[in-house]
Amino acid sequence: MKAEQSFDPTFPSLSMSSGILPQRPDAVPMAAAPLSVYLEIGPELSQMASAAQTNTLAGYRFLDTRGNVIGGSAEVGLSLAHVEEVQRALDGENVSVARLRIRDTPEPALYSFSRGARVRVFVATPVRSGDEIIGAVYISRTPNHIFRFLYGERFTLVKATLFVLISTGLIGFVFWRFITRPIHALIARTRTTGSNGQRWQALEHYGTREIETLSLSFQSLTERLQNQQDALKTYTAHVTHELKSPLTAVKGAAELLAEEDMSPSQRARFIENIARNTKRMEELLASMRAFSLADQNALDGESRLNDILPDLSSRFVPMAISASGANSALPIHADTLRIILTHLLENAQQHGATEVLLAASSDAIGASLTISDNGNGISDGNRDKVLTPFFTTQRAQGGTGMGLNIVTSTLEALGGALTLLPTETGTTFKMFFKARGK
């Protein structure tokens, strides 16, 4: 039984840095006949070369130590000893070269799918028995043309193409389903919202969390703008209606003043009516302007009660204004806070308050400011109406019912809120501001 032999294969490599060599020299007659041992194994080697060529499409030549072709697929009985790579292989070197290939026949019409390359690769490898070189194997192969290679891999390429198309289709569907369609729906909502009084309608599918956040931001913005627009329209209609009475009175008094047979007391009374109704109209127009500019006056910033307390105390001298947490930071500009507190203190003063306590505090959730007075308070029947635009119990004294609504609009523009707290005596309002980034 023969001992099992181990093989250490040598993988030839080809570097194109040396360029392409000229066409290989033709085989020549042998200078000396091969030894008998080579002649005996030559036919067997030729059969092996023929079988291998069927699978590899390569040409095989088996050489003795003199460079004679003793077997193979071509040039058997001739010598290749004068070929450079063969001589280097017989000297013990593994050689791979690319040589120019000149065809004996015209190039085929279907060049892309043929072996019509203009170069040929030659590999010469020494055959050793122990440390002794006993011959060489000389292999030649026409490299696959790129198009022929692609043609040979056509089924693999078709599979890869189908995979790419299916993957692209799935990615496109996911992109359309979760990004493109929600964005187009969001664009359609922004175009239709507000036209013909149509309100914002939530999307059926948001797709991604980011688009949902964006949509909810648009919804909040449009609702706030629509609410402000509706309130401004309502207030404008209310002011127009309210202006008719003093305007009619002024017009009538002016016509009566034109008469010559009017006593001085009557003339003075009509002049007083004109002044009173003119002041009423000025107050209505001032309230309308303040309401329309509520958002513009809502300046971002930070302030403390200590920043504005001296000014408020000087403006409302009859009332004793005290504060707790005066150094607590509130996320509102000092000018905006001054406007808000001015409206609230005016209401307190009109309802008989002599003392007002301002209490500020802040925590991780947000900041708050409580305004408590010892005035007449708000009746149970009016508590649900006091924050309604145009509601006032001081209409005879020129009240417009817009002071608290201006405060509410300003706070909403800053992301805050105004609430009326239940109390046994007096009135207590609480302003709340969310913490930054909440």
Arithmetic mean of pLDDT, 172-179: 83
57 torsion bin: left (phi>0), alpha (psi -120 to 50), beta (else) = left
Would you list the DSSP string of 113-145?
Answer: GTT--SEEEEEEEEEEETTEEEEEEEEEEPPPP
- Residue 1 clears pLDDT 60, i.e. is over it: no
Arithmetic mean of pLDDT, 397-413: 67
- Residue 18 clears pLDDT 80, i.e. is over it: no
Whole-angstrom distance, CA of residue 419 vs CA of residue 408: 9
Give me the pLDDT at residue 376, please: 83
Alpha-carbon distances, residue 430 vs 10, 344, 387 (angstroms): 89, 11, 13
Are the C-beta atoms of residues 235 and 227 closer than 8 Å to each other?
no
Confidence of residue 113 (pLDDT cuts 50, 70, 90): very low
Window from 19-28, 239-248, 341-350 with minimum mean pLDDT: 239-248
Greatest mean pLDDT among 201-215, 250-264, 327-341 = 327-341
User: Which candidate, 314, 435, 427, 300, places its Cα nearest to that of 373?
Assistant: 427
Could you tell me how far CA 40 lies from the centroid of its own chain? Answer: 78
Give me the pLDDT at residue 120, please: 86
SS (H, E, C) 214-267: HHHHHHHHHHHHHHHHHHHHHHHHHHHHHHHHHHHHHHHHHHHHCCCCCCHHHH
- Residue 291 clears pLDDT 80, i.e. is over it: no
Greatest mean pLDDT among 48-57, 143-152, 289-298, 386-395 = 48-57
More confident residue, 281 or 111: 281
Give me the pLDDT at residue 147, please: 61
Arithmetic mean of pLDDT, 292-310: 71
Q: Is the pTM of this model over 0.85?
A: no
Confidence of residue 107 (pLDDT cuts 50, 70, 90): low
Give me the pLDDT at residue 422, please: 85
pLDDT digits (tens, 9 = 90+) for 183-201: 887 787 777 776 666 666 7
Would you list the DSSP string of 302-344?
Answer: -B-HHHHHHHHHHHSTTSEEEEESTTS-BSS-HHHHHHHHHHH
Whole-angstrom distance, CA of residue 283 vs CA of residue 177: 55
Arithmetic mean of pLDDT, 81-105: 86
- Residue 114 clears pLDDT 50, i.e. is over it: no
